[in-house]
Structure 1
């Protein structure tokens, strides 16, 4: 890499680490050299790399990657919080997913991570009044990554969607900081009601695979929702709920379920 790029990278330790991993990946797997150079080693900043990767994934003949990339760059320049949230999400993946061996792997290959970042760009577009493009990104997200997040939903930072396939998050849903969501989770409504009709997921909640949380209900901070559960009522903070319909089975002994990612119930306190 050139001296100017090296100087820029040295001021951003996360980006510097990603670039070092990228160089090692090229040496280890030459067949990916073009991908890694275009996506990472030819980019100046983390946000540039992420925008390039997402544009390549989401672009079509009718809405080409080069135009999406330009729009994404404009958004992240005007809204630095988008890039800050993307970094927090990346840290969450690296901390919580044992299958992730480096930030580079998540940046290049993890579709749950890609889907959240696509949502963040679509959300910013919606707030700028560009609803058609925001909905186009939602549609491309669903088709490409198997995740459907309405751009009007409100998501915090440090969120991990593990695997991602089949996750649906509705228009008026709220997901606060530090939440972990596994595959097949639905944060949906209960019918044709209009207005505020989707769940509110508070800080540090872990939602197990295949769980459905329906209606304008609240899942309290650091609660745990068991895999396959159907939740139709509020769950107090720090509690574990499971079943169809879900019931509270005790308090979660672990105070940070979203970080530990333990889907069992051995830690439940009666």
Structure 2
């Protein structure tokens, strides 16, 4: 793995899927950041005001911002925004997911110091929001609209998440380019995926054919997890690895094909984002055989 060392400075250990600060505090902070940005960069004042300041809550602002990005001559931004609002009306719990995903970026990305940045600019966050709306449409048999959103997200963000996949809260897609998540994949709460990660199938198998990833898992850049296999909670998958077999919890795997090379290093790898390790089998619990 690449050496990435920084500490989590914005909150301590929390229950799975929970934002580091109250949801209304995230929205108040985002509005404050927007006001400061409009003052500092008047050329963007109209854009920032339309995206954030004119709205009354985070969910409304997200509907507008993501619809503006996804809008096309085929399906306009207004229709997409109204569809998003209808989905939120039936599934207000999506607001908690949006808050948790936004908080995850600020907590884990050392290049981010404001909620404003992922909200306005980061395609990983935008792709997750698009997936969450598409997933609800898929579940309610509006599958063509869900697939349209998937197609637009793939085209615009270079992130391809099937709307039938099941993803937890508090996720971060860092850089995000090239992330692919298949139809029957699942991903637990508080996971972090770097760019070019694939949660894919291993051939022309039909039915349940994609990985099941636990909570708190960190998956490095370019890693491929293939087939209907399980990755345990709070494990790490090294950059460039190809995982073809089950992975126990709390370990680091690396290589092609991947094998266990050591413990996970931290209690919550996806939050610490620590991608360093020392290969020392003696540090493994006695019941963990090398893959």
Contact kept? 2:265, 2:277, Cα under 8 Å: no
1:150 maps to what in 2? 162
1:87 maps to what in 2? 99
* Distance across 1 between alignment mates of 2:268 and 2:243: 20
1:60 maps to what in 2? 72
Ranges in structure 2 where 5+ consecutive residues have no aligned partner:
1-22, 285-291
1:41-56 equivalent positions in 2, closer than 5 A: 41-56=53-68
Contact kept? 1:252, 1:267, Cα under 8 Å: no
Ranges in structure 1 where 5+ consecutive residues have no aligned partner:
1-10
Contact kept? 2:172, 2:192, Cα under 8 Å: yes
1:1-270 equivalent positions in 2, closer than 5 A: 12-266=24-278, 269-270=283-284
Deviations 1:143-174 (A, max 9, x none): 01110000000000001110100000000000
* Distance across 2 between alignment mates of 1:84 and 1:63: 27
Larger relative contact order, structure 1 or 2 (CA cutoff 8 Å, min sep 6): 2
SS at match of 2:252: strand
* Distance across 1 between alignment mates of 2:181 and 2:126: 15
Q: TM-score, normalised by structure 1?
A: 0.94
Contact kept? 1:253, 1:267, Cα under 8 Å: no
Deviations 1:217-253 (A, max 9, x none): 0010000000000000001000100001111112123
SS at match of 1:12: helix
Contact kept? 1:254, 1:267, Cα under 8 Å: no
CA RMSD after TM alignment = 1.2
TM superposition outliers: structure 1 runs of 4+ over 3 Å = 266-270
* Distance across 1 between alignment mates of 2:257 and 2:119: 37
Q: Indicate the structure with greater helix content.
A: 1
Task: Note the C-alpha offset of 1:42.
Answer: 0.9
Q: What count of residue pairs does the alignment treat as equivalent?
A: 260
Contact kept? 2:262, 2:278, Cα under 8 Å: no
